[in-house]
A and B are shown apart, each in its own frame.
Chain A
Amino acid sequence: AQKITQTQPGMFVQEKEAVTLDCTYDTSDPSYGLFWYKQPSSGEMIFLIYQGSYDQQNATEGRYSLNFQKARKSANLVISASQLGDSAMYFCAMREMNSGYSTLTFGKGTMLLVSP
């Protein structure tokens, strides 16, 4: 079973508008972390935002915010005031512990295209 599900293969948004990228996850570990990474065409995975499973408030980092709904096991990324440079692949990932070390499990990603 997929641990991270991103149901939107592609999203389109106009410059300056807000966009929400969906992510649902599955884990039985009570302590986990959720991440969003941006991958431009160059290939580098750029860390955007992190949400811990015990964090009481939704994470925010500049124009990025994470809409964390624990009961629904969702961790959607909200980008406000989209910019042309936001066009990229976006990956949701979950950190899990395995015998004392942590690994990231990624979803398949969502391609975001921002138009002028």
Chain B
Amino acid sequence: DAGVTQSPTHLIKTRGQHVTLRCSPISGHKSVSWYQQVLGQGPQFIFQYYEKEERGRGNFPDRFSARQFPNYSSELNVNALLLGDSALYLCASSLEGARTDTQYFGPGTRLTVL
């Protein structure tokens, strides 16, 4: 079975631009979470979606938004990019995002903001 897939693999943008990152969960998984990992740190939680509804949001500005589609794939959008948004963006899928779930991660999208 295919794991979590993300696109694109790498992305270079300039300050002020907008970016859209995409994620397809493992088949059968209904929950998608997004994490940001800056160099030298562990991933930080951005959003979790389940059944197309936002379940939770981490401590990120409103420039960050996301949505989940009927097929459970998800998009992360970042507006007005800043240099500090340069990071590896990881998508994780789980069955329901519940207490007993394990989150499985995709390969990530490496975003560079110049």
User: Distance (Å) between the CB of A95 and the closest chain B CB?
Assistant: 8
Kindly state the interface size class of chain B when it binds its partner. 20 to 34
Question: How many Å lie between the Cα of A93 and that of B40 in the bound state?
Answer: 15
Kindly state the interface size class of chain A when it binds its partner. 20 to 34
Chain B residue at minimal CB-CB distance from A109: B42
Contact of B43 among A95, A97, A100, A106 (CB under 8 A): A106
Interface residues of A (CB under 8 A from B): 4, 31, 33, 35, 37, 42-47, 50, 91, 93, 95, 97-109
User: A101-B98, A102-B97 are known contacts; what are 19 more A-B pairs with Cβ within 8 Å?
Assistant: A37-B105, A42-B107, A43-B108, A44-B106, A46-B105, A50-B102, A91-B43, A101-B31, A101-B48, A101-B56, A103-B33, A104-B43, A104-B45, A104-B103, A106-B43, A106-B44, A108-B41, A108-B42, A109-B41
